[in-house]
Structure 1
Amino acid sequence: MNITTSIKPDTILANCTLLDPSDETYLNHPIIERFGSPSQPIYVDQCNVDINGVSYDNPLILPIYDGQLNLVQCAVLQDGQRVQVMPDGLAQGFARYGHFDHAEPIIVTYNLEAFFKIAQTGYAVALVILPSLCDAQHTEFKPFDFEQMQYAINQLSKAGYTKLYMPVRPEHVQLEGFQKLEQDTALRLLNQHIVIDEQGIKTDYLIELYKDDGIEDVAIFIDESIKRLSSSGQWGELLPLAQPETSVNSTYPIHALPPLARDAVIAIAEHVQAPIGMTAQCVIGAMSHIAQAHVNAPHPFNPQGEPCSLYLLTEGQSGSRKSTSRNMADKAIIQHERKQYELYRRDLEQWKSGQASLNKKDKEAYSAENPPPHDPSTLYSDITLESIAGLYVDGILNNASIASDEAGQFFGGYTMKGDTRTQAIGGYAKLFDDGFVERTRSKSNLNGSGRAYDVRLTFNLQGQHEVLSDALKDPVLRGQGFLPRFILTIPENLAGTRLQDAIYRSKNANHDHRLIAYWTRCEYLLDDCPRPQGGQELYNGRYVIPMNDEAREIDASFYNMFEELQGKGKRYEYLQAFASRASQLARRLATVFAYFEGLQRIDAKTLTGACEVVKHSLNEWAMYADIEVKTESDAERLIKWLIRKCIEQKTSSLSKTLAMKGAPSHLRKAKEFDPCINELIEFNYVRLVTINKSTYIELNPLLLE
């Protein structure tokens, strides 16, 4: 049976056999024999299944759920083979066993054997779906594996499940990765290495979650580990206080990209060993370059739409594989350009031959009747606005990209410095907004002056923090709207983790089916561009990809959300120039996604994904402290006052009634005071205790040290 990647999960399960743990077929299934039994019914497809050219014999099927416990996908498992997720190819949730209760613990694991074992204990357990789940031995994780873990954990956390625990060995070579998960999410780690002190004798135990381990031992380990966490860290770690809606999630929303592009992003990251955010920006840059020549983004007031061109900016350290990532993402474009350039060189030689033997007068006549061919190049790494404007005005170019991993040269170059900067900023802004460029030369040199309409430019700039920092904080570049047009990401630095074993060195990117599919799609859009359907009108060779009704509702909600967040005291009060463009950037990015996927309309899923990328960009801009003026929150003011009063009175607690009366003036009513206290409790700064029927605010001892 051949399964397509678009098949719905309920259809998959309907065609499977549900086996009971007492069935002999259940006990003899290769996955159960290899990884143990969850003592729960399992779904098995009792056929030979072919997925993307890979055969799966009698595979086990795991349902995948999102944070609201809705069935969203299925995972296809066979011992020793890569896990396949249907549809979309990338897990957008987790597998689960047990009853999920917001008040009870949920154990999260990335290991199939542990998943089955924990399921037998009665604890609710969630399994992060990694492609390597069924590998014989899996001890090393890629950066994307940790991102997948964080994605599943955040889904549960956002759905209200806060008692999340993950067993982990303390000597794991990538322990820092798990510790970062604990730091960045609601997850708490359960140390599998424990020491038990009985009558003065200390005994070391390393708890393993293997299929042959006793259920009672595993249950006791989880029980005791959770109790130790509760008793040893009653206060918990002091977390940074922030204003509402100020949490920054630096993980790039890879799930937001279309499936084909998303797989390419992951594949490039694996082969190049570059951060996901960096490879994602490179792939989006390639898609924007291709799409801008053929489609326009929908505009609320202009039926002809607006350019879908994108300005992209990525910060990356020296040696972070910026060039290699971009070259791999642009491979189809580069090859296409090379073919076009070879044709141009041939035509140029013919043109030169045609006038070689002519005198000066005849050459002029020949050139007038036979204009020389133009260089078809559209990818530039270092070109000034003056030069590219001339190419537009002269009709040589209609669509171009400036793609460079030396963004410092761009921001520090002559064009963006001194007297020419203001003109350049305005020129790039007009190109972005209207696809319009104008070049005006002096009266003594009018040749080359003129205007060009309906031209397009994509930026894909990458550079080091040391070089970009001053430019990104430049008030002129921000205030005149140049930087706010950019989608920014600041991916993690992978230096020190990019080890290459024999398996890695045996891989060949040119044979990776994910990249082949992506490059093939790019080639198709470059060579044999599909025309609009359904009577869509062409405007100078481009057509608008409209939004459907659901997408329009999402667009309105997204606009209103970011409009409200620009208000006084809100998240983007000091990032108004950036936040005000969020809706526009999301529509453009959604247009690029839709064109690449071959959609005739922007649907809800596509626009939602684009919104996630834009939200990520705004959070990244907010990381530059000089852009967003940090104001002290009410919770910060209150805790400072509480600390000062406790130190003055040499106590660790204050009466809540007296604290409210003496608090900063605008917090002396319960309506304002209680939310601040609740925030301080949530972030482990204070807790409420009852003494003789009176409520007291007790401070975390760490604050009084």
Structure 2
Amino acid sequence: MNPCTLVESVFPGREICIVPDERLHSPHGEIMTRNGSGYAVSRCGMILAILVNGDVEYHYPDDVDAISLKSFQLVVDTAIANLPAEKAGTYNTEDREPKGLQFEAKPTFPVDALGEILGGAAAEIAAAVQVPVELAAQSVLGVASFAAQRVTNIRHPVLQTEIPLSLFLLSVAQSGDRKSACDKQAARAVKEHSRALFEVYQQEHQEYLRRKAEGGAELIAPREANLIIREPTLEGLQKSFENGQPSQAIFNDEAGSFFGGHAMKPENAAKTICGLSEFWDGQDIVRTRASDRILLTNRRLAVHLLTQPVIAETLLKDPLLQQQGIFARFLVCHIDSIAGSRFIDRNLPPVPHTARDRLHKEVHRLLNSQWEADFTGGVVLPCMELEPHAVEAWDLLYNESEKEQAPGGAFEIIGPFVSKVAEQALRIATILAVFEDSPAVSVDAMLRATRLANFYLNTTLRLAQEQEAEPLELRAQQFIEWLAMKRGGRATIEEIDKYSPRPLKLRRDRRHIRNVMQIYCESKLLRQVGTDGRGQPNQWEVFDAAT
């Protein structure tokens, strides 16, 4: 197989110089997109990947090494997933030229990248509770982070510092979308472990009080059993870590109560944000007051907050939250509602518990593992390393994300998040390795973590674009996506009046609908395809839909 000859036959026009380095190359210098064209050649020069219109084909001799083939395929597939999506066409009414709505396409959560244990549990929870799989995956990933963060750290491939496995997750879903039921399914083992700890604590506390009453002046009070906190103040969180377990979590399925509570009042918000950032970073927590001085080392905090879109929109626009960089540490997932399709069908077999049981077993194993305490009661943890090929995969993610946050880059407007995405991928990859009982982070785990990081990158980019958009442009994008996803790209005025999303405020009267549709047609987002008996427009389709 001659890679040069094969690439030139697929992309004719000029001579192409093949570089065997596993990177994706554009055949003739065009801007590459996920749905475009490109090629990559393995370092050995024996395996060729060709991307044509979004589909990738691999060419290699029969005697190629299977392990090398799989590794190359994972690198290429991940690199393709990291490419920007092509923008949908729109229309500028001043110069009459297509310009493109600047919205990243809504990404699909790569649940298979979570692996057999975590991904299997997420899929099973989604089926049992009848929720989108990304909501179940967020809950599973939050629990997995909490269980893994007290087992090991991960060594940074460049700085050689020890990084905690704590994740901060934010899930945005409508009220009634079964956030609580989903979180309850995922966190069953955590709650069981918490109850068992509390029973032990009660016994130890009673014994402590008895011995203290008998004159035991040098006794040390037993550690409190708190594992899950819902609405802490910063001081309350610090006290909980001082007196309780060194690894804790904030799991709150109504995060509006957290962000609207005492901790986030104007006089407390800045210090709460800084405190949470320090916990994410794994820093020592120091508080010095005349009557209260504490030092907390090696504490770990995982966070999963679930909230409604109207609250999330307010939070994402809050200048203090943006300036302090707290949301750069959150992995955000926006879940589309499937309300109206969650029917009970007794003819279908019940959803099995196999994957959920395996998840709970692994979480129990990790939570019951022994830990060594340091001089402040924190966890002294081993540090996991990346395998050599995993380091190469991580370097690729880091360099690509660094390049794209430069002025004019694809991720310029989400620079604070992009600057942390490589570290987020490190944490995710190590969590996957912990649940797969691996002694080191493999290239497979790193590449799957890269796919997950790419999902969060594109979600965050999409949210940032929505924040920058004009209201009319945002409503137009939301309507076009509803039309494409829910109505097959075409709808009548009756369907728009009855089924269009309420936030778009189209369900007023037929005249209002026609006026809005006229604006969209003039912008070349829609075209009119039908009229009623009086010649009035009554049906439209997406502009690029098949005629």
Which bracket does the TM-score occupy, shorter chain normalised?
Answer: 0.5 to 0.7
Alpha-carbon shift at residue 300 of structure 1 (Å)? 3.7
Residue identity in the other structure for 1:297: I
The reply on whether 1:471 has 2:308 as its aligned counterpart is no
Alpha-carbon shift at residue 242 of structure 1 (Å)? 5.0
Q: Distance in 2 between matches of 1:257 and 1:485?
A: 20
Change (3 A) 1:516 1:396: closer
Paired positions, count:
388
Matched residue, 1:68: 57
- After superposition, what is the alpha-carbon deviation per residue over 1:78-97, rounded to whole angstroms, capped at 9, x for unaligned? xxxxxxxxxxxxxxx9xxxx
Larger relative contact order, structure 1 or 2 (CA cutoff 8 Å, min sep 6)? 2
The reply on whether 1:340 has 2:197 as its aligned counterpart is yes
Q: Identify the match of residue 354 of structure 2 among 496, 513, 516.
A: 513
Matched residue, 2:155: 298
The reply on whether 1:404 has 2:252 as its aligned counterpart is yes
Matched residue, 1:688: none
Alpha-carbon shift at residue 461 of structure 1 (Å)? 0.5
Residue identity in the other structure for 1:494: I
Question: TM (normalized to structure 1)?
Answer: 0.51
Change (3 A) 1:283 1:486: same
The reply on whether 1:349 has 2:214 as its aligned counterpart is no
Q: Distance in 2 between matches of 1:561 and 1:438?
A: 36
Map 1:482-561; keep pairs closer than 5 Å: 482-503=326-347, 507=350, 512-528=353-369, 541-561=380-400
SS at match of 2:244: coil
Q: Distance in 1 between matches of 2:234 and 2:396?
A: 36
Map 1:445-456; keep pairs closer than 5 Å: 446-447=291-292, 449-456=293-300
Q: Is the contact between residue 275 and residue 491 of structure 1 (CA under 8 Å) also seen in structure 2?
A: yes
Q: Is the contact between residue 147 and residue 366 of structure 2 (CA under 8 Å) also seen in structure 1?
A: yes
SS at match of 2:331: strand
Change (3 A) 1:421 1:611: same
Matched residue, 1:252: 109
SS at match of 1:294: coil
Q: Distance in 2 between matches of 1:450 and 1:540?
A: 16
Greater shift, 400-409 or 342-351, is seen at 342-351
Q: Distance in 2 between matches of 1:613 and 1:250?
A: 10
The reply on whether 1:604 has 2:443 as its aligned counterpart is yes
Alpha-carbon shift at residue 284 of structure 1 (Å)? 0.7
Change (3 A) 1:370 1:399: same
Q: Identify the match of residue 241 of structure 1 among 100, 105, 115.
A: 100
Alpha-carbon shift at residue 529 of structure 1 (Å)? 6.0
Q: Distance in 1 between matches of 2:362 and 2:437?
A: 10
Change (3 A) 1:302 1:622: closer
Alpha-carbon shift at residue 548 of structure 1 (Å)? 1.0
Residue identity in the other structure for 1:405: D
- After superposition, what is the alpha-carbon deviation per residue over 1:387-432, rounded to whole angstroms, capped at 9, x for unaligned? 111233x353311100001111122222223122111111111111
Alpha-carbon shift at residue 684 of structure 1 (Å)? 11
Q: Is the contact between residue 121 and residue 355 of structure 2 (CA under 8 Å) also seen in structure 1?
A: yes
Change (3 A) 1:286 1:498: same
Q: Distance in 1 between matches of 2:411 and 2:177?
A: 30
Change (3 A) 1:68 1:258: same
Change (3 A) 1:582 1:407: same
SS at match of 1:466: helix
Change (3 A) 1:684 1:419: closer
Q: Distance in 2 between matches of 1:684 and 1:424?
A: 44
Q: Distance in 2 between matches of 1:424 and 1:566?
A: 28
Q: Distance in 1 between matches of 2:417 and 2:354?
A: 38
- After superposition, what is the alpha-carbon deviation per residue over 1:102-137, rounded to whole angstroms, capped at 9, x for unaligned? xxxxxxxxxxxxxxxxxxxxxxxxxxxxxxxxxxxx
Alpha-carbon shift at residue 258 of structure 1 (Å)? 1.6
Q: Is the contact between residue 397 and residue 422 of structure 2 (CA under 8 Å) also seen in structure 1?
A: yes
Alpha-carbon shift at residue 272 of structure 1 (Å)? 0.7
In the alignment, structure 2 segments of 5+ residues that lack a partner are: 1-54, 61-72, 89-96, 373-377, 471-523, 527-542
Alpha-carbon shift at residue 304 of structure 1 (Å)? 4.8
Q: Distance in 1 between matches of 2:467 and 2:404?
A: 13
Residue identity in the other structure for 2:343: L
Matched residue, 2:427: 588
Residue identity in the other structure for 1:483: F
- After superposition, what is the alpha-carbon deviation per residue over 1:431-488, rounded to whole angstroms, capped at 9, x for unaligned? 11133222233x3xx13x2221111111011010112211122222122210010011
SS at match of 1:581: helix
The higher radius of gyration belongs to 1
Q: Is the contact between residue 307 and residue 435 of structure 1 (CA under 8 Å) also seen in structure 2?
A: no
Change (3 A) 1:313 1:595: same
Alpha-carbon shift at residue 350 of structure 1 (Å)? 3.0
SS at match of 2:325: coil
Q: Distance in 2 between matches of 1:627 and 1:249?
A: 12
SS at match of 1:623: helix
SS at match of 2:264: coil
Matched residue, 1:36: none
Q: Is the contact between residue 307 and residue 588 of structure 1 (CA under 8 Å) also seen in structure 2?
A: yes
Matched residue, 1:621: 460
Q: Is the contact between residue 436 and residue 452 of structure 1 (CA under 8 Å) also seen in structure 2?
A: yes
The reply on whether 1:319 has 2:176 as its aligned counterpart is yes
Question: TM (normalized to structure 2)?
Answer: 0.65
Residue identity in the other structure for 2:357: I
SS at match of 1:400: strand
Residue identity in the other structure for 1:68: E
Q: Is the contact between residue 407 and residue 468 of structure 1 (CA under 8 Å) also seen in structure 2?
A: no
Q: Distance in 1 between matches of 2:410 and 2:370?
A: 42
Alpha-carbon shift at residue 185 of structure 1 (Å)? 12
Q: Is the contact between residue 548 and residue 601 of structure 1 (CA under 8 Å) also seen in structure 2?
A: yes
The reply on whether 1:289 has 2:150 as its aligned counterpart is no
Q: Identify the match of residue 386 of structure 1 among 235, 241, 264.
A: 235
Matched residue, 1:373: 222
Q: Distance in 1 between matches of 2:446 and 2:469?
A: 31
Map 1:23-102; keep pairs closer than 5 Å: 67-68=56-57
Q: Distance in 2 between matches of 1:598 and 1:70?
A: 34
Q: Identify the match of residue 135 of structure 2 among 278, 303, 317.
A: 278
SS at match of 2:456: helix
Residue identity in the other structure for 1:517: R
Q: Is the contact between residue 438 and residue 451 of structure 1 (CA under 8 Å) also seen in structure 2?
A: yes
Q: Is the contact between residue 566 and residue 576 of structure 1 (CA under 8 Å) also seen in structure 2?
A: yes
Q: Distance in 2 between matches of 1:593 and 1:344?
A: 31
SS at match of 1:551: helix
Q: Distance in 2 between matches of 1:596 and 1:239?
A: 48
Alpha-carbon shift at residue 630 of structure 1 (Å)? 5.8
Q: Identify the match of residue 576 of structure 1 among 409, 415, 423.
A: 415
Residue identity in the other structure for 2:367: L
- The alignment yields a C-alpha RMSD, in angstroms, of 3.3
The reply on whether 1:434 has 2:273 as its aligned counterpart is no
Matched residue, 1:423: 271
* Aligned residues with identical type, % of pairs: 27
Q: Distance in 2 between matches of 1:331 and 1:560?
A: 39
In the alignment, structure 1 segments of 5+ residues that lack a partner are: 1-65, 72-92, 94-154, 160-183, 187-237, 532-538, 632-682, 686-701
SS at match of 1:462: strand
Matched residue, 1:458: 302
- After superposition, what is the alpha-carbon deviation per residue over 1:19-66, rounded to whole angstroms, capped at 9, x for unaligned? xxxxxxxxxxxxxxxxxxxxxxxxxxxxxxxxxxxxxxxxxxxxxxx9
Alpha-carbon shift at residue 254 of structure 1 (Å)? 0.8
Alpha-carbon shift at residue 345 of structure 1 (Å)? 1.4
